[in-house]
Every structure is written in C-alpha cells, then in structure tokens.
Amino acid sequence: MNTSGNSFLITGGATGIGMALAAELVRRGNDVLICGRRADRLAEAKQQIPELETVAADVSSPAARRELLELVRRRSPRVNVLVNNAGIQQLVDFTAGERDLTKADEEMAINLVAPIHLSALFIPYLAELPQAAIVNISSGLGFAPLAHMPVYCATKAALHSLTLSMRHQMRNTSIRVFEVIPPTVASELGASHRPAGVNAAAMPAETAATLIADALSRDDYEFALGEAANLVARREAMFPFMNRR
C-alpha cells in the first residue's frame, strides 16, 4: 500500500509502538487518529505531535467500538486503515486455579475480542472505500509462548490465526489484511513485571515503527521484525492447501 495520503485509526496509539507508528505515519504524510483509555496520555501524545487527532475510547467496550465507527464515518478524511494495536500483558499462574482469571478475561477482551469485533464492525465501512487495510499487531510470543504469560501468548497466537483467515476472506475486497509480528520492543507493556533492563536491550519503538511502515509500503502482509522473524520461520506452510475454496 501507498504509505502516504491515507487516514489511519491506531488503537492504543498514545504510547509505545502505536505512538511511534503514529509519528512515523504523520511524517510520511498521513492523517492519523489514535485512541486509548487514558486522557492524559492522549493529551501528551497530541502535545508531541499536534497533527494527531485523539479520542478517548476503551476498545473492550462494545458501545465505545460503535462510537469509534460513528466518529470514523463522520470525519474527513475518511479512515481507510484500522490498526488493531491496543494490548495489555498479564502474568497468569494456573497453579493458583482461578485466582488470575479476572486479569486473563481483561487480556482476552482487549487483545483478541476487541480486534475481532472492531474488524467486523469496520469491514462493511472499509469495503466501500477503493483502498483499505486492517493491520493486526500480534507478537513473536504468539509463535513461541512464555509460560508465565500464557493467556497473553495465546491471544497473540489466536490473533495470528484470525489474521490468516481474515486475509483469505477479504481477498476479493478492497481490504488488505496485514499482520505485524514484533519482537521485544521498548514500551510500557507489562511494566509491572518486565525485568529491569529489558527496555534498554529491546528494539526502540521508533525503529519498529520505521520497519512497520516500510513493510506496509511493500505489501509485506505478514511481517516479523527483528528476532521475531526466527520464531515465525516456516509456519503455516500448509495454509494454501487447506483453503482452496
């Protein structure tokens, strides 16, 4: 896809990878709308990048998702790319039985249910446009799980699977479906449990954003960055044989 002249909606765009991607896309001549739950972080993002439009929205809320679509329908320029980036990461210990399931439910609602519902909600709208895209941000951990964050990794594996099917279903529409598979990137994700020093050794969010924008521009529909590429190698080779219809 051409990575200038589009209008992007990036969920969770006020921090981390989403914020860096928003900055990169603005630099490349795109209109960018971001959403997130915390108004203060959205205001900070707007202060750093005045071209951004921001809206407070919790993508795990069905009502908020519908309001996002209404906003997108009303505004000009029309959003033609949805980036499902919002995510959280939790520690879940199954040896403690049901203790952590509230955290796990929130994680599933944000990381998996929200992209499913938001995509389904946006697809009829996006399909009316001559060029449109959905970009799902999964994770290398969807391919090689870390056992202390089992539900996080499972949501990302599911997002990968979902993206394959969605891309196949959208093949005769104007909507291209991308998956971006990041490695460890410096951000606030899992801040409460990230070991000290991880962010210092991680890929900077700005580097990830440049690589992601480049991948979109060359229609690299399944793009694994940095060390995540090793985790993904040779997966899904059978997919075309299973989906001939």
Ligand X SMILES: NC(=O)c1ccc[n+]([C@@H]2O[C@H](COP(=O)([O-])OP(=O)(O)OC[C@H]3O[C@@H](n4cnc5c(N)ncnc54)[C@H](OP(=O)(O)O)[C@@H]3O)[C@@H](O)[C@H]2O)c1
User: Rounded to the nearest whole angstrom, what is the least distance from the CB of residue 35 to ligand X in the complex?
Assistant: 6
Find tokens 């050794």 and name the residue. Answer: 201
Q: How far apart are CA 135 and CA 210, in angstroms?
A: 15
Q: Does 184 bind ligand X (CB under 6 A)?
A: yes
Which residue in 44, 53, 58, 220 binds ligand X (CB under 6 A)?
A: 58
Helix (H) or strand (E) holding 162: helix 150-169
| 221 belongs to the catalytic site | no
Q: Does 35 bind ligand X (CB under 6 A)?
A: yes
Which residue in 3, 6, 7, 14 binds ligand X (CB under 6 A)?
A: 14
Q: How far apart are CA 62 and CA 172, in angstroms?
A: 28
Binding string, 65-104, against ligand X, x = CB under 6 A? --------------------xxxx----------------
Q: How far apart are CA 165 and CA 170, in angstroms?
A: 9
Token code pair at residue 93:
């210990």
**Which lies closer to ligand X via its Cβ, residue 11 or residue 163?**
11
Among 143, 152, 178, 223, which one carries the catalytic annotation?
A: 152
Name which of residues 139 to 168 contact ligand X (CB under 6 A): 139
User: Rounded to the nearest whole angstrom, what is the least distance from the CB of residue 33 to ligand X in the complex?
Assistant: 13
Q: Are 159 and 141 in contact (CB under 8 A)?
A: no
Which residue in 55, 137, 170, 212 binds ligand X (CB under 6 A)?
A: 137
Residue 99's nearest CA partner among 151, 61, 142, 37 is 151
Which residue in 27, 28, 37, 75 binds ligand X (CB under 6 A)?
A: 37
User: Quick one: angle between helices 39-48 and 16-27, nearest 10?
Assistant: 30
Q: What angle do CA 82, 42, 33 make, to 5 degrees?
A: 25
Which residue in 3, 6, 7, 187 binds ligand X (CB under 6 A)?
A: 187
**Residue 195: CB atoms within 10 Å:** 8
Catalytic residues, by residue number, are: 152
Q: Which spans of this chain sit near ligand X (rule: CB under 6 A)?
A: 11-12, 14-18, 35-38, 41, 58-60, 85-88, 110, 137, 139, 182, 184-185, 187-189
